[in-house]
Amino acid sequence: MLKNFLKITLRNLFKNKLYSAINIMGLSIGIVCSILIWLWVSDELSFDKFIPKYKNLHQVWVHATFDNKINTWQSIPLPTYEAMKTAHSSVVNSVVTGWGGDRLLTVDDTRLLKRGYYASEEFLEMFEYPLLSGDPAIVLDDPHSIVISESLAQTLFKNEDPLGQVIRFEDQVNLNVTGILKDVPANSSFEFEFLVPWKQREMLSEWVVRNKTNWGNYSFQVFVELNDEKAQGAVDEAIATMLADNGEDDMPRTLFLHPLGKWRLHSNFINGEIKEGRNDHVKLFSVIAIFILIIACINFMNLATARSERRAREVGIRKSLGSTRKYLILQFIGESLIISLISFVLAVLLAELVLPAYNNLVDKSLFINYKSLEFWQIGLGIVFITGVLSGSYPAFYLSSFRPVETLKGTIKIGKGATSPRKVLVVMQFGFSILLLVSTVVIFRQIELVKDRDLGYDQSNLISVDYSDELAENYDVLKNQLLQSGAVDAVTRSNSRITSINSNNFLSWPGKPKNLKVIFTTISTEYDYTKTMGIDVLHGRDFSKEFVTDTSAIVINKAALDLMGLEDPIGTTLDLWGDKRQLIGVVDNVIMGSPYKEVKPMFMIVNPDWINAITVRLKNNNNLNENLKTVEAIFDRYNPAYPFDYQFADVEFQRKFDTINMTQRLATIFSLLAIFITGLGLFGLASFTAEQRTKEIGIRKVLGASITGLIALMSKDFSKLVLIGFVLSAPITWYLLDQYLDRYPIRVDVQWWIFPVIGVIALIFSLLIVGNQALRVARSNPATSLRDE
């Protein structure tokens, strides 16, 4: 029976080459899209799951109620690290880390800036990143130890045994290699190439030591391991009042555990509640994959039912020879499954061809793992679902024909076949219009945010990480940079202009007692506004001419609007219990998320609280020469470190990586969806035109014009497109409005987008249908009427 199935299927495929090609091509493209999206979604869902105890690992976060809402963040006081160990019987252990950053590693003449973490000795026992050499229980015990990745070991020591080798760390201390890590997978929330003991950080930083008992400094990351994943609720209850119990009772603050399994996709908190976050993109692309598969399946169903009249006699003969309806259903679904299998094989080959470009687009290293049971389960699942879904309606419809009518040739293919086809075409265009409108709206959202006034001049602005040597030589470094002819201005601050590293509370005259507002905090020195290109709206910037500026303060326009000060200059503000005189108001600057309103901000002078130097290069045509000049000066006063700089405009553009990827993928998949729709419409229009050849011949003989005949054949398809548009428009508007609500700065879903996309879809369909109609309308009626 299987041999017979296969023979009939192949015979039908070769007999109807055009429709077979349309079916296979449409299904292949649909499956390719599904495979590519599945690879991306699977990678997102796999984050951290390679860690054996990932279900039992959590990070300690805090809810704090102020500014009339619940604010949530992951930085907490350092004493929490030790307190968590005895907070509840379900807590096995705790770990403290310093968030990773690029640090200097030196071996002989090799100088590298690599990303790493300070971590307490429990880190590798809890997170169980695999070690190629060393015991995870002890490798971080010695303050003068360092654990490095396999790749870093090869880079630094080539073929030598790295264990016991010495690495100069941050040009301050020598560390001994005590362990070799297997390279950290790309789907890890922690990205690092080395680990340094937390004890070493305490030795290098008096600030860390001072904060070991300070419950008021929220600058540290603490993680815990539970002995039972179900114990989270009990531990949350036990630690809820830990901050208040230790003096942090000026506002409602609650500690809670955030599971490792939610870090990647569910870390977006709004008013204390998780609001999906990156998981929204997983859902979005999963839905797109389903839509495209459905569109591809609709093509098959439409063409199969449209051609049912040609197979009616075959059904009649089979039934007269004893075939049951069940057998016929199996026959037609079997044909569909074979076509689906052929399409799947072709889709896998196409996926392999486009994967390099796709990886570049999504910034991942995805690949098809043919040894993975999951791949074959999902792949064969797609084959089965698309095969059954595509072939189910044609199978049940064709098998219902009565043999007497089919053999007499009296069977009529009427509403039983055309009505479902119309519904399916309406669905196709509805999905396609939804995807096209979404692409346009997401593009407009990106452009809106990119066109916002940044409040500063990004051009020719570079930042360089701070170091002890730069701190010692800053004044002479700045003078030589300004005298070099390559630089217009230089400043230093606690964060780059494209990021926010600190937030604090500030009081002002007339502030309501219960009002708590968090301010972006910039610690700087002089020439900050000049270097960044920020407008001073009232008063002045900090200046060396005024020795009292070390106790002065500058705020931004958002802060002024919040305070409601009519004559702000000279106002006394309260910061950390100290009085500071307000000397200036600057324009709002977008430092954090470009999708949000600018937060209130203040600046103070504090040369001891600095993390970056910012340099504005001369605005001329010698950018490369200017960079070489600046590099030479930095090398002179910071010789231990390689000259590593970042352009402000490049750093800012990285804030759009996720939404840019969303827009590009949505555009590509939308175009593929409309292509698949057009492919099916071409096949359906071609077959419809072929069926109406005699009718067209008669109409031509009776005097119908070619234009009239084209309009006649295009009318039915046009109605379907318009119905699809009318049905999908309100659904599309609602879904997009919900999606855009995540952005405080957002576009409205403009009404004009819908008719524009509707007209484009209509023109697209008319071009396809009209082309087939024109072919038939131009044919000689004598040929089509010869046998009448």
The DSSP letter of residue 364 is: S
Region of poorest pLDDT, from 93-102, 215-224, 747-756, 766-775: 766-775
Read off the pLDDT band of 401 (50, 70, 90). low
Of 664 and 119, more confident: 119
What percentage of the chain has pLDDT greater than the value 70?
A: 91
Nearest to 452 by CA among 343, 593, 264: 593
Q: How many whole angstroms separate alpha carbon 783 and alpha carbon 632?
A: 85
Read off the pLDDT band of 694 (50, 70, 90). confident
CA-CA-CA-CA dihedral for 619, 623, 629, 632, to nearest 10: 130
Q: How many whole angstroms separate alpha carbon 296 and alpha carbon 102?
A: 48
Read off the pLDDT band of 132 (50, 70, 90). very high
Q: What is the pLDDT of residues 415-466, one digit of tens each?
A: 445 566 678 788 888 888 888 898 899 889 888 888 889 999 999 999 999 9
pLDDT for the residue 603: 97
Q: What is the pLDDT of residues 573-602, one digit of tens each?
A: 999 889 999 999 999 999 988 888 999 999
Q: What is the pLDDT of residues 476-511, one digit of tens each?
A: 999 999 999 999 999 999 999 998 888 999 999 999
Contacts 24+ apart (CB under 8 A), 688-696: 688/306, 688/713, 688/772, 689/713, 689/772, 689/773, 689/775, 689/776, 690/776, 691/309, 692/776, 693/776, 693/779, 693/784, 694/784, 694/785, 694/788, 696/776, 696/777, 696/779, 696/781, 696/784
Read off the pLDDT band of 104 (50, 70, 90). very high
pLDDT for the residue 145: 97
Read off the pLDDT band of 721 (50, 70, 90). confident
β-pairing verdict for 173-181 and 57-66: unpaired
Read off the pLDDT band of 705 (50, 70, 90). confident
pLDDT beyond 80 at 391 = no
Is 492:546 a contact under the CB 8 Å cutoff? no
Q: Which residue has the tokens 């809670």?
A: 256
- 58-85 b/e with 16+ CB inside 10 Å = b? bbbbbbbebeeebbbebebbbbbbebbe
Secondary element (H or E) of residue 493: strand 487-493
Query: CA angle, corner 371, sides to 366 and 376, nearest 5?
Result: 85
What percentage of the chain has pLDDT greater than the value 90?
A: 52
What are 678's two structure tokens?
Answer: 């057009």
Average pLDDT over the chain reads: 87
Of 389 and 627, more confident: 627
Of 736 and 413, more confident: 736
Q: How many whole angstroms separate alpha carbon 93 and alpha carbon 60?
A: 12
Q: How many whole angstroms separate alpha carbon 382 and alpha carbon 388?
A: 10
Residue 69 pairs with which residues in a beta bridge? 66
pLDDT for the residue 664: 87
pLDDT beyond 70 at 305 = no
Q: What is the pLDDT of residues 330-358, one digit of tens each?
A: 777 877 888 888 899 999 999 999 999 99
Q: What is the pLDDT of residues 183-228, one digit of tens each?
A: 999 999 999 999 999 999 999 889 899 999 999 999 999 999 999 9
Q: How many whole angstroms separate alpha carbon 118 and alpha carbon 195?
A: 6
Q: Which residue has the tokens 């939610």?
A: 262
Q: How many whole angstroms separate alpha carbon 161 and alpha carbon 147?
A: 14
Q: What is the pLDDT of residues 402-420, one digit of tens each?
A: 666 655 555 555 444 556 6
pLDDT for the residue 415: 47
